[in-house]
Structure 1
Amino acid sequence: MAETTARSGSVQSIERAFGLLELMADAGGMLGLSQLATASGLPLPTIHRLVRTLVDLGYVRQEPSRQYVLGPKLIRLGETSSHMLSVWARPHLARLVDELGESANMAMLDGDQVVYLAQVQSRHSMRMFTEVGRRVLPHCTAVGKAIMSQLRDTEVRELLQRTGMPKHTETTITDVEEFAAQLRKAQQDGYATDEGEQELGVRCIAVPVPDVPSRLAMSISGPAGRMTETLVDRAIPLLTQAAQSLSDDLR
């Protein structure tokens, strides 16, 4: 019984430690002990013990202000995790390319930007070259809209206030209310579109990846002339299925 209790206690400590890291991440990366105690509901001595362990391991750092911030050692874990997301996504993206003929992408909301983590290129000679690792603002991309359609309205507005809504093409949405209306439609329809808003002549359609800790979306994109309504109608259920399959793989 003692051995079982020890194992249970160890698992509980791990769960609590990761819970604190997630609380700090949700708060922008910095919190004090009392804030962590309030947010987690754990006793202050327990918080202090867990945080000291995380500091000793390099996953949390204490600032001169006495607050705690996420440590640089987490960067290596994040980079490896992003790479693995790409590995897991590629088979699903490849099937989309086989079925639809256009380039397929997976992207994630990282801070206030969208970063492309994985891509399988179309076999057409004229295709999109959104390279893996590219970062863009979310207001002018289908993947950004798909992800933001899952956020609270206040989160969306705060993000747009921080980034602004720079105009890239004639069709880029630069009005907050119009953008909010598009997000409501995307939430209702289950998919979002980019009608040449990031790059002239390029059309993109994207769906959010459901039930995953990271804010992810999958998309197909191609020249507007090939991305017809018929293709889009075929793509929506295939994208939705691919996103659900990826979600199942990540659980």
Structure 2
Amino acid sequence: MATTGTGSAQLTAVPPQPRSPAPAAPPPTATLIGSVQRAMRLLESVAGHHHGAPAKQLARETGLALPTTYHLLRTLVHEGYLRRDKGLFFLGEAAERLSSSGAEQKRRSTVADTLARWRDAIGAPVYYAVYREGEIDVVCVSDAPAHPAVEEWADFRETGHAHAIGQCLLSQLDEEARRDHLDRHPVRSVTPYTVRDAHGLLRRLERTRRMDPVTERQEYALGTVCAAVPLTVGGTAASVAISLPAHQADRLVPAAQRLQAEMGRLVGSLALSISI
């Protein structure tokens, strides 16, 4: 609503108010939990003593007060990260699980890097599989948009008779283990090119020389050919395989030979990782 008056309104400028200073950023260590840091130092110290160490020695090595050391050691023993035996402290099962998990991740990374190197060198997707506890286990697959992997449209474990990976793994087993596998996973037609029966498959496997690549052409997936190279470390059967489109079938044997040569140079990295 408008107002009337005889004089002009005098407006007084309000001086700008100074802003409150921004709160200072916390120091980098403000969010760290000291007790966790101290516990980690104790774990590292214990890990350096394969024959165990007493609390007083651990306190000296970590620079912790002895009462604090005892308190943290008791907590770590209670949680399973340490164990105490005759006054000495050792790494416990929980710490060992962490260590084994880290080692497993490193092995998986080694396998993935190796397969990627072979994929790029050969120009085909690469598969790594092992046979353990009576089953085919495809551990790792390395493919790329230009070299896509075969789609697992039928369970690899149940169709080992149809693909090169499975045939390669089965060829490394003894006769009893092969028959046991086929009793649990009977031969069946996956494509019109699949081996017809267990008798035919067993004859094929018997003719396969132990370290020769195994090839199959459209037995698992129409439009795809595959080759697998055997890899045996100790008592574990393993295989590295490649797949190609059927129109590149003439590349299959040379590519398998290239894969076998690459494996000969880097087989140690896979041998160390075969238990993953």
Q: Is TM more than 0.5 here? A: yes
Select the residue among 130, 134, 140 that pairs with 2:162. 140
Q: Does 1:175 align with 2:188?
A: no
Equivalence map 1:28-67=2 (5 Å): none
Which deviations, in whole Å up to 9, do the C-alpha atoms of 1:61-117 show, x marking residues without a partner? xxxxxxxxxxxxx9xx7x888755532222332232222211111112233432221
Write the distance in 1 (CA, Å) between the matches of 2:211 and 2:130: 20
Select the residue among 149, 158, 167 that pairs with 1:128. 149
Which deviations, in whole Å up to 9, do the C-alpha atoms of 1:185-214 show, x marking residues without a partner? 332561111211221111110011132453
Count of aligned positions: 175
Give me the identity figure in percent: 20
**Which residue number in structure 1 is paired with residue 245 of structure 2?**
223
**Which residue number in structure 2 is paired with residue 63 of structure 1?**
none
AA of the residue aligned to 2:228: A
3-state SS, counterpart of residue 136 of structure 1:
coil
Write the distance in 1 (CA, Å) between the matches of 2:207 and 2:110: 29
TM (norm. structure 2) is 0.54
AA of the residue aligned to 2:233: D
Write the distance in 1 (CA, Å) between the matches of 2:177 and 2:213: 19
**Which residue number in structure 2 is paired with residue 196 of structure 1?**
218
**Which residue number in structure 2 is paired with residue 165 of structure 1?**
187
- Decide whether the 8 Å contact of 2:150 with 2:243 is kept in 1: no
CA shift in 2, pair 1:81/1:185, >3 Å? farther
Write the distance in 2 (CA, Å) between the matches of 1:116 and 1:80: 21
Which deviations, in whole Å up to 9, do the C-alpha atoms of 1:137-190 show, x marking residues without a partner? 311111111111111122111211121112211111131221122213332561
The alpha-carbon deviation at position 245 of structure 1 amounts to 4.3
Equivalence map 1:104-115=2 (5 Å): 104-115=126-137
- Decide whether the 8 Å contact of 1:104 with 1:122 is kept in 2: no
**Which residue number in structure 1 is paired with residue 11 of structure 2?**
none
**Which residue number in structure 2 is paired with residue 17 of structure 1?**
none
Which structure 1 residue ranges, 5 or more long, are not aligned?
A: 1-6, 8-56, 58-73
3-state SS, counterpart of residue 210 of structure 1:
strand
More helix by share: 1
3-state SS, counterpart of residue 194 of structure 2:
coil
CA shift in 2, pair 1:237/1:225, >3 Å? same
Write the distance in 1 (CA, Å) between the matches of 2:103 and 2:177: 25
Q: Which has the larger radius of gyration?
A: 2
3-state SS, counterpart of residue 140 of structure 1:
coil
Aligned-pair Cα RMSD in Å: 3.2
TM (norm. structure 1) is 0.59
Structure 1 stretches of at least 4 aligned residues deviating more than 4 Å after TM superposition:
79-85
